[in-house]
Copies of this chain bind each other. A is one copy, B any other.
Amino acid sequence: MAQLSKKKCEACHVGASRVSEEEISQLMPLLPEWKIIESNGIKKLKKSYNFKDFKEALEFTNKVGAVSEEENHHPSILTEWGSVTVTWWTHKIKALHINDFIMAAKTEMLV
């Protein structure tokens, strides 16, 4: 995961290649507790993190926001009292791109 987290997001465009099922099965063991979910027919990478209160949750949200601005790839972040749920997918291809796995690994490094 540490190696994956050091990669930079590739420039992404409509028609960029989505990760294959084989790639997904190689990548998922690098991302403990991340799950593949499907929402509106789009595969997404999702994980919830627990914190002691709202303030700590919001601090984590801001860290995720900062790294997503650096890489110009943005997740949805659900901030609640004591938890943050981060969901990555690639809007332009409506699917999972290698960038999403890179960003999930970068998210892990923020905890």
Q: Which residue numbers of A lie inside 8 Å of B, CB to CB?
A: 54-55, 58, 61-62, 65, 68-69, 74-81, 91
Contact = CB atoms under 8 A, between A and B. Distances in A.
B55 A79 contact: no
Contact of A74 (B74, B77, B78, B80): B80
A46 to B, nearest CB: 13
A76 B65 contact: no
B61 A79 contact: yes
Given A61-B61, A62-B58, A68-B54, A79 B81 contact: no
26 contacts: A54-B65, A54-B68, A54-B69, A54-B74, A55-B65, A55-B69, A58-B61, A58-B62, A58-B65, A61-B61, A61-B79, A62-B62, A65-B79, A74-B80, A74-B81, A75-B80, A76-B78, A76-B79, A76-B80, A77-B78, A77-B79, A77-B80, A78-B78, A78-B79, A79-B79, A81-B91
